[in-house]
Amino acid sequence: MKFLRWLNLIVIMVFLSACGSNGIAVPGFPTETPLPPPSVTIVSTPDVNATLSAYLDAYKVDDYNTMYGILSKVTRDAVTLEDFAKRNRDALNNMSAGSFDYEILSSLVNPYSAELAYRVTYHTALVGEIQREMIARFTLENNEWKLQWDESLILPELAGGNVLRMDYSVPSRGNIYDKDGDVLVAQSDAYAFSIIPGNVTDESFGTLVSEVWRLCGVSPEALGEEIINTPDFFAIPLCEASEQESARIRSIAPSGLQWTPYKSRYYFEQGVGSNIIGYTQFISQENLEEYRRQGYAGDERVGAAGIEQWAEDYLAGEHGGTLYVVNPATGQIVTRVGESAPKPADSVYLTIDDNLQYYTQKAIEGFTGAAVVIELDTGRVLAMASSPTFDSNLFSPENPNNSLLTELFNSTNQPLVNRAAQGQYPLGSVFKIITMAASMESGLFVPEYTYDCKYDWTRLPDRIRYDWTYQHCQDRLAAGQECNTSDSVPSGLLTLGEGLTRSCNPLFWEIGYTLYQNNRSTDIANMARAFGLGQPTGIEQIPEEAGQINDHTNVEEVVNQAIGQGDVLVTPLQVAMFTAALGNGGTLYRPQLVEKVEPVDGGPSTQLFKPEARGTLPVQPFRLDVIREAMINVVRDPRGTANFRLRGLQIPAAGKTGTAESGSGKPHAWFAGYTMASESTGLPDIAIAVILENAGEGSDYAAPVFKRIVETYYFGAPQTFYWFESNFGVTRTPTPLGGIPTKTPRP
């Protein structure tokens, strides 16, 4: 045994001497590879602050799926995703909390649990800021922090299942007035009128249809036919009217007429200017939450189109409310969180002239189209009519005639489209004003330039292009007449200005061709954009389209563009805008529909709109004078294209006719012009643009509409009939009113 101990000792000493005193191998002695250190797995604990931030950030954007995924298993077993989302959403809605901020104050973290103190500040529409400090508790599950949730993490007062309730105080909706303070929209007593055909007698028929025409604008002929072809006891809805508007017909009370009183937000004169003013509707389900966060109870009617929609914040006033915490089991109030008082709505004053708007609408009634009237030196829109139009009163649920709403929505004529700002059309010969400006500014044409305007133009090999006089000649020949009138013989030698006065197509094709040949193929498009085309006007208060002005490198396209055809698209509002600029010396104003917003108590205006210049026509003043002189001659010169139809107009005016090929049916009729009577009348001069879809020639149809609008503006009402009228508003002789016509079989 002693020997073995000594032997072991000798071996150990030899091993140590081989390794050296520091354990490093010594040369000459064998070494061994050291064993690797034992592996250690380190599991990092996630950041609980980041988890709470992720939860609250998701709450800010209503991302309840993400929030629910952060909840502990115990919480998720106790509440479904749908219920969790509803409780959180309802709380924000009842608070009218549009947003909130948060701040993490402190944290206490243990290996398997954590507590975080944080502060939330809710920004509410009705009761100001609500600030609370709360404790969020987390547990570690599968190495992820999970939130132990209950309602107290919304507000501490909601612990134990309490809920929030807001008692709302909603001010009356504000009124809308025209520029002179005449009411256009207000809460009012009204009457809905209809006819029961079976109650109409021979004696009452004539009085009935004539009085309905006076009140509702339904032609006697059309109404008579409807009475005949409607079952005896089926009510024919007519229109609505205020007490004052309907006093006459109610006092006469012709047999067959009935009316029902109702109280509502009323649009006067059967909704004059409805395409501008718009209407209100109940808040839709998809928008309900957005409005609740803004302080709405959810059962209000809100602006859904036009000025009603644009001015919602003004017309709705400031809602008030008191926010309570309520025990849902007993209905008892636990505490009051906050409150605010309502503030009255503001009144909105438009730039619209009520009387002019009414007669402008009447001027295009029966056509499909639009008319816009703008003050020359300010951009104020005095009238904006679209046809067919609609009556905003139909959107009132209290109106017994609102059954017509279905017909309105289903109409293929799209009466809800405001053609004045949203209709996009080829401009036809009115565009020649722009082509003339581009030609002179290019330096290739001077006012004295002359051109022999013939029936045709054959510069391009694709086809022969004909002047408008050629078609007139063909029409006369087809009627067995000779081509010997001024509108059916070639215009002959013309200067540039005379070419515009005569609207000579070959001259303007020649301009487009010449510009193209001189590498100036985009000059016309550039000038059109400088005139405000191909872009929104900036009117803001109503929807509008931009139109279309394209650059072209193809000669045929440039030539077509030169006369406002091809792919040129404009809105009547744009045309009125640049026509006003021509009349005022070159300033393009932003069209303006709202004059001011004023408190109901008559205090200082909260918003006052002023004229805003958006640009200047890039045309030298002396060249602008040439264009204006040519436009004056369109009206004044016997050879001018509008002279015949505008004879007898007592107000000096300038303008341009347009007949734009529509691609189907008759061409669109255009007229754009302005007045020159401010010094003699004391009234601001106006610019007017008229478009009548598929009506025919601009000189025959749009120019008379221009004349009627001018007469209304200066004299208060139309002074002359259209050449195709037998009476105002009647384009052909109506059925005699002696009695009920004999019933015809129904198809």
Q: What is the pLDDT of residue 5?
A: 47
726 or 545: which leads in pLDDT: 545
Q: What is the pLDDT of residue 33?
A: 54
| Alpha carbon separation from 713 to 272, 331, 357, 709, 718 (Å, rounded) | 16, 62, 10, 6, 9
CA 687 – CA 376 distance, rounded (Å): 6
Residue 262, helix vs strand vs coil: strand
Residue 286, helix vs strand vs coil: helix
Is the per-residue pLDDT at 135 higher than 60? yes
Considering the domain boundaries, does residue 683 fall inside one? Answer: yes
What torsion, rounded to 10 degrees, do the Cα atoms 575, 576, 582, 583 define?
160
Handedness of CA 404, 409, 413, 419 (dihedral sign): positive
Choose the final residue of a domain: 160, 194, 222. 160
Considering the domain boundaries, does residue 639 fall inside one? Answer: yes
pLDDT, tens digit (0-9, with 9 covering 90-100), for 559-604 = 999 999 999 999 999 999 999 999 999 999 999 999 999 988 777 7
pLDDT, tens digit (0-9, with 9 covering 90-100), for 657-712 = 999 998 888 999 999 999 999 999 999 999 999 999 999 999 999 999 999 999 99
The pairing of strands 456-457 and 465-466 is antiparallel
pLDDT, tens digit (0-9, with 9 covering 90-100), for 416-428 = 999 999 999 999 9
Considering the domain boundaries, does residue 505 fall inside one? Answer: yes
Domain that holds residue 90: 48-160
pLDDT, tens digit (0-9, with 9 covering 90-100), for 296-326 = 999 999 999 999 999 999 999 999 999 999 9
Q: Chain-wide mean pLDDT for the chain?
A: 91
Average pLDDT over residues 382-399: 96
Report yes or no: 269 and 239 within 8 Å, Cβ to Cβ: no
Is the per-residue pLDDT at 105 higher than 50? yes
With a pLDDT cut of 70, the percent of the chain lying above it is 92
Handedness of CA 113, 118, 123, 129 (dihedral sign): positive
Q: What is the pLDDT of residue 45?
A: 76
pTM for this model (two decimals): 0.88
Residue 264's pLDDT band (cuts 50, 70, 90) = very high
Of 360, 345, 416, 408, residue with least CA distance to 186 = 345
Element (H, E) at 687: strand 686-692
Domain tally for the chain?
Answer: 2
Q: What is the pLDDT of residue 494?
A: 97
Q: What is the CATH number of the domain that holds 135?
A: 3.10.450.100
CA 309 – CA 423 distance, rounded (Å): 20
Considering the domain boundaries, does residue 111 fall inside one? Answer: yes
Residue 24's pLDDT band (cuts 50, 70, 90) = very low
403 or 6: which leads in pLDDT: 403
CA 392 – CA 185 distance, rounded (Å): 10
Q: What is the pLDDT of residue 607?
A: 76
Q: What is the pLDDT of residue 609?
A: 85
Choose the final residue of a domain: 104, 132, 160. 160
Q: What is the CATH number of the domain that holds 692?
A: 3.40.710.10
Q: What is the pLDDT of residue 451?
A: 97
CA 402 – CA 398 distance, rounded (Å): 8
Considering the domain boundaries, does residue 441 fall inside one? Answer: yes
> Residue 631 contacts by C-beta under 8 Å, 6 or more apart in sequence?
433, 500, 501, 582, 654, 655, 656, 673
Report yes or no: 579 and 687 within 8 Å, Cβ to Cβ: yes
Q: What is the pLDDT of residue 35?
A: 57
Residue 43's pLDDT band (cuts 50, 70, 90) = low
Choose the final residue of a domain: 126, 160, 194. 160
pLDDT, tens digit (0-9, with 9 covering 90-100), for 638-664 = 999 999 999 999 999 999 999 999 888
Considering the domain boundaries, does residue 525 fall inside one? Answer: yes
Q: What is the pLDDT of residue 728?
A: 76
pLDDT, tens digit (0-9, with 9 covering 90-100), for 476-529 = 999 899 998 888 999 999 999 999 999 999 999 999 999 999 999 999 999 999
Q: What is the pLDDT of residue 25?
A: 45
The pairing of strands 613-616 and 587-589 is antiparallel
Q: What angle do CA 218, 222, 228 make, to 5 degrees?
A: 120
Average pLDDT over residues 627-640: 97
Residue 410 CB-density burial (10 A; 0-12 exposed, 13-18 middle, 19+ buried): exposed
Q: What is the pLDDT of residue 600?
A: 84
Locate 208 and state its tokens: 């009935």
Q: What ranges make up the beta strands (E) of 470-584? A: 492-495
| Amino acid, single-letter form, for residue 427 | L
Report yes or no: 491 and 467 within 8 Å, Cβ to Cβ: yes
Is the per-residue pLDDT at 16 higher than 90? no
Considering the domain boundaries, does residue 379 fall inside one? Answer: no
Locate 499 and state its tokens: 């070419």
Residue 409's pLDDT band (cuts 50, 70, 90) = very high
Considering the domain boundaries, does residue 388 fall inside one? Answer: no
